[in-house]
């Protein structure tokens, strides 16, 4: 039950972050959005880290998972926000949501038991990804980056899947704040500081509340996921990937995004696959 609650909490936070970032990335660029999100998240976490001190369980093995968690999350964010600059939320979010399946497969390979219907659910999701990436001829005339956006979203899903599993491992061995910390530190060191030094770190008044909301939502979302992962990484990872439904509904209500018939079928297949995986793992 706790794994389910943690995953659902993460889904709502990640969905809110995706909606905010889909707007801010078009205002100031993907790199600047990631930089400000990581800086805001780090500032929010620092008091907790300082008060808690270094955990006794921090060793070389935990360090490897910390690095993988940071790399997967930061690289995934850079890629997905690049996709959101050229593609609709309703396309990017469902494809990216396959991150939960990636993390579940890694967990299965590492020995965590997953139901036998997982392969069929994953196959349905793969077909859905293909259909979602198909751009109708009339839409291509107004938007020539459909396939590129879908491919970027798929690549981000692979990165996020690795990051999710690594975050789950960190959260199982170390205090939860340490599961959220690596990506914030890496983002500041390797994205925010280089952009600031090169005078390429951008921020506008309109983008400010969006990046603040995204940064805080990511922190709360990963903390919720790490808590749930202590009781089952695969369950929490698949449930966290339900953020696609939150983002897709939000994009329709807030931004009026409408997809083609094949793309709607593809999105439905991805969400159905995620739902089936949720049932199997739960």
pLDDT in tens, 138-167: 454 455 555 788 889 899 999 999 999 999
pLDDT number for residue 138: 43
Q: What does 10-73 look like in DSSP terms, one character per residue?
A: HHHHHHHHHHHHHHHHHHH-HHHHHHHHHHHHHHHHHHHHHHH---TT--HHHHHHHHHHHHHH
Q: Could you tell me the pLDDT band of residue 214, with boundaries at 50, 70 and 90? A: very high
Arithmetic mean of pLDDT, 38-49: 95
Name the residue among 15, 14, 33 with its Cα closest to residue 24. Answer: 33
Arithmetic mean of pLDDT, 99-121: 77
pLDDT number for residue 136: 46
Arithmetic mean of pLDDT, 31-42: 95
Between these two residues, 39 and 230, which has the higher pLDDT value?
39
171, 227 in Cβ contact below 8 A?
Answer: yes
Between these two residues, 280 and 189, which has the higher pLDDT value?
189
CA distances from 271 to 20, 136, 246 (A): 21, 21, 11
3, 171 in Cβ contact below 8 A?
Answer: no
Token pair, residue 248, equals 């897709």
Q: Name the average pLDDT for the chain.
A: 84
pLDDT number for residue 98: 84
pLDDT number for residue 249: 76
Q: What's the pTM?
A: 0.80
Arithmetic mean of pLDDT, 88-97: 80
């Amino acid at each position: 039950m706790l794994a389910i609650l943690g995953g659902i909490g993460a889904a709502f936070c990640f969905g809110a972050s995706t909606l905010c970032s889909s707007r801010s990335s078009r205002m100031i660029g993907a790199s600047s959005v990631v930089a400000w999100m990581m800086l805001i998240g780090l500032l929010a976490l620092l008091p907790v880290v300082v008060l808690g001190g270094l955990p006794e369980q921090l060793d070389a093995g935990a360090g490897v998972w910390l690095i993988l968690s940071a790399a997967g999350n930061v690289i995934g964010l850079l890629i997905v926000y690049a996709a959101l600059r050229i593609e609709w939320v309703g396309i990017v979010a469902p494809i990216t949501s396959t991150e939960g399946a990636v993390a579940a497969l890694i967990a299965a390979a590492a020995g965590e038991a997953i139901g036998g219907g997982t392969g069929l659910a994953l196959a349905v999701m793969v077909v859905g990804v293909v259909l979602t990436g198909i751009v109708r001829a009339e839409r291509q005339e107004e938007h020539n980056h459909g396939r590129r956006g879908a491919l970027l979203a798929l690549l981000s899903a692979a990165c996020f899947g690795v990051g999710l599993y690594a975050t789950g491992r960190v959260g199982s061995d170390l205090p939860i704040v340490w599961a959220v910390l690596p990506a914030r530190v890496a983002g500041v060191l390797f994205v925010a500081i280089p952009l600031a030094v090169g005078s390429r770190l951008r921020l506008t008044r309109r983008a400010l509340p969006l990046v603040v909301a995204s940064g805080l939502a990511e922190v709360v979302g990963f903390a919720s996921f790490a808590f749930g992962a202590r009781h089952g990484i695969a369950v929490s990872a698949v449930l966290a990937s339900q953020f696609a439904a939150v983002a897709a509904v939000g994009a329709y209500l807030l931004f009026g995004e409408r997809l083609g018939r094949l793309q709607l079928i593809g999105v439905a297949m991805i969400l159905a696959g995620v739902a089936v995986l949720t049932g199997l793992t739960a």
